[in-house]
């Protein structure tokens, strides 16, 4: 299985209230995040 560092996550609506918290937690968890 791939390590967290190589996993990329796309979050749509990343500027929304809930998504900003999700993005923050993903970044803390070591994921690469792209928001739209």
| Domain map (residue ranges) of the chain | 4-35
Q: How far apart are CA 14 and CA 20, in angstroms?
A: 6
What percentage of the chain has pLDDT greater than the value 90? Answer: 83
DSSP 22: H
Nearest to 31 by CA among 9, 11, 12, 10: 9
Q: Tell me the two tokens of residue 16.
A: 């929304």
**How would residue 6 be classed by pLDDT, with cut points 50, 70 and 90?**
confident
Strands in 1-36 per DSSP E: 8-11, 32-35
Please write the tens of the pLDDT for every residue from 7-36: 999 999 999 999 999 999 999 999 999 999
Q: Do 9 and 34 touch, CB atoms closer than 8 A?
A: yes
Which pTM value belongs to this model?
Answer: 0.79
């Amino acid at each position: 299985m791939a390590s967290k560092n190589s996993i990329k996550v796309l979050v749509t609506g990343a500027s929304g209230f809930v998504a900003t918290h999700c993005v923050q937690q993903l970044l803390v968890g070591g994921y690469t995040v792209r928001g739209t």
